[in-house]
Amino acid sequence: MEIWDHGKLTVNKAFASLFRQRGWETFASIWVETANAAVAKKMRTDRITLSFTLDDHGTQRTFFIKRHIRSSWKEYIKPLLRLTWPILGARNEWNAILHFHDADIPTMTPVAIGESGENSFLITEGLDNCTKLSRLGGLDDRRDPETIKRRRRIIDEVARIARTMHAAGLHHQDFYLGHLMISQSAPGRIYVIDLGRVQKHSTLARRWIVKDLAQLDFSADTTLTEQRRFLRQYLGRPLSRADRRLIRQIRLKRAAIAQHSNKNKL
């Protein structure tokens, strides 16, 4: 990484020359020039994700910039009422991306982070030729042998990712299928995205493991046999009587997530 603009801007060396060519060497230059980029996602007034392309010697490269501005008091109070600390700004997701790379978990490529006062942004490179697992087609016919094999490969890989993530002390907090991207050009490779709420602990509490697995279970249309397969792969061994408590906790948390989703029409 290279540190620019008196510490306000950190840039991945692999993209440094591309930014310099465009004159993007300060927080302000990037903040201003990306302001009118195409909106990719906006769920809160204090955070918006935009997409833009840059020409790199004739090749168009896609990037995403997640811009954070001052949050309302509501965003501070909500987590405090749940006895958790607010996660605001771009820094947490930047650190999470680096943690995921350290753990060898496929995720976004970190490009740059900028921080100035109460404003901050995170830039990542787009994942080419990828589809969200929640939108992946061709997996409905569970009588087709090839479809069954493909579903099993995906289940095994997601279980491996979850096991690696938790073994590294990382919990996602939004571990739904919509935040897992599968590559069409590198079959079987799955990326984890939207790491804004990821937390890292020296020892991961059971409740965080249960929450991640319940979120995944809630968003996945799987059979009981597939759920058991996932848990065997996640645990790295056959299921035993001792695992009944974990299964029960996951089911209870999944029911709570479903109730919350129905209540808030999510």
In a shared domain, residues 143 and 51: no
Domain count, the chain: 2
Residue 223 has, within 13 A of its CA and on its CB side, a CA count of 11
User: Can you give the pLDDT at residue 138?
Assistant: 74
User: Can you give the pLDDT at residue 185?
Assistant: 86
Per-residue pLDDT of the chain (266 residues), as tens digits, is: 999 999 999 999 999 999 999 999 999 999 999 999 999 988 788 899 999 999 998 999 999 999 999 865 565 566 555 656 667 799 999 999 999 999 999 999 999 999 999 999 999 999 999 999 998 877 887 788 888 999 999 999 999 999 999 999 999 999 999 999 999 988 889 999 999 999 999 989 999 999 999 999 999 989 999 999 999 999 999 999 999 999 999 999 999 999 988 887 76
In a shared domain, residues 80 and 180: no
User: Can you give the pLDDT at residue 182?
Assistant: 96
Strand 2-4 to 180-183 pairing: unpaired
CA distance 162 to 106: 12
Q: Which residues contact 87 (CB under 8 A, 6 or more apart)?
A: 79, 196, 197
- Angle of CA points 164, 168, 174, to nearest 5°: 75
In a shared domain, residues 258 and 140: yes
Q: Which two tokens stand for residue 167?
A: 């073994």
CA distance 15 to 18: 5
Which of 74, 108, 125 delimits the end of a domain?
A: 125
**Which single residue is written with the structure tokens 């919509």?**
178
**Which single residue is written with the structure tokens 């479809």?**
147
Q: What is the DSSP string of 210-238?
A: HHHHHHHHHH----HHHHHHHHHHHHTS-
In a shared domain, residues 115 and 137: no
Residue 200 buriedness (CB in 10 A; 0-12 / 13-18 / 19+):
middle
Catalytic site residue from 5, 46, 156, 174: 174
In a shared domain, residues 121 and 8: yes
Domain of residue 106 covers 2-125
In a shared domain, residues 102 and 167: no
In a shared domain, residues 253 and 215: yes
CA distance 70 to 141: 47
For residue 5, indicate whether it is catalytic. no
We report the CATH number of the domain holding residue 22 as: 3.30.200
In a shared domain, residues 139 and 234: yes
In a shared domain, residues 137 and 180: yes
In a shared domain, residues 32 and 117: yes
